[in-house]
Amino acid sequence: MARYIGPKSKIARRFGEPIFGEDKVLSRRNFPPGQHGNNRRRKLSEYGSMLAEKQKAKYIYGVLERQFRNMFDAAARQSGITGEVLLQNLESRLDNIVFRLGIAPTRAAARQLVSHKHIIVDGAVVNIPSYSVKPGQIVGVREKAKSLVVIENALAGFNHSKYPWLEWDENSKSGKLLHKPERADIPENIKEQLIVELYSK
C-alpha cells in the first residue's frame, strides 16, 4: 500500500504539534509552513476542524484515506463508542504494537520491520503492518533479527510500563496484548468525536 513519505516536519508544523515524535524543526519554527505561515493563524471553520482532526489521525497512524474510512466503517458496526473503538482498532494494528513495545523508534520504522519479516505473532512471521492483533496474542522479534542495531537501540532504556495494556518479556523480546486500551490510556492528542461527526455528515 502507498504511504506518505514526504517531509514530516512540514506536516507537524501544519498541525502545530509533534505528531511524528520529537521534532527539532517544529521547536524552532512553531508556525505553519509557507510564506504566510508566520502570520496570524486563520480560524478554521467547523468542517475544517473536523477534516483537520481526521487528517491528523491518518498521519499519526500512517493510514491512507480508503483504509481509514474502512476502519471507521468497521468501528461503527462494532459495539461501543465509535470514536473510541476506532482509536482502539488503530492501536491494535501490528505496526503500532511494535512501536508501542519499543521494538522500533517510530511507527514508520515499525512498519518497515514488519514488512521485512522481522516480526512474529504467536511464533509465526507476519509481514502485514495493518494486521489486527487480538488480545492474548504475543508479538515478538524473530531470532535472527534480535541483534539488529535499530532494534537494540530502540529497546535500550525503553520504559515498558508506559502502556498498561501491553506486557513485555525482556528475555524473549516479545510482548503480549493484554486487552484493548482504554481511551484515557491512549496518549495521542486526537479529538475522535470530530472524526465521527465528519463521517456522519
Q: What is the pLDDT of residues 102-156, one digit of tens each?
A: 999 999 999 999 999 999 999 999 999 999 999 999 999 999 999 999 999 999 9
Length of the chain: 201
Of 28-42, 132-146, 169-183, the poorest mean pLDDT is in 28-42
Cβ 53 vs Cβ 194: under 8 Å? yes
Question: How far apart (Å, rounded) are the C-alpha atoms in residues 124 and 90?
Answer: 22
pLDDT in tens, 3-18: 666 666 666 666 566 6
Residue 86 pLDDT: 98
Q: What is the rounded average pLDDT for all residues in the chain?
A: 87
pLDDT of residue 50 exceeding 80, the answer is yes
Over residues 163-173, the mean pLDDT reads 95
Give burial (CB, 10 Å; 0-12/13-18/19+) of 40.
exposed
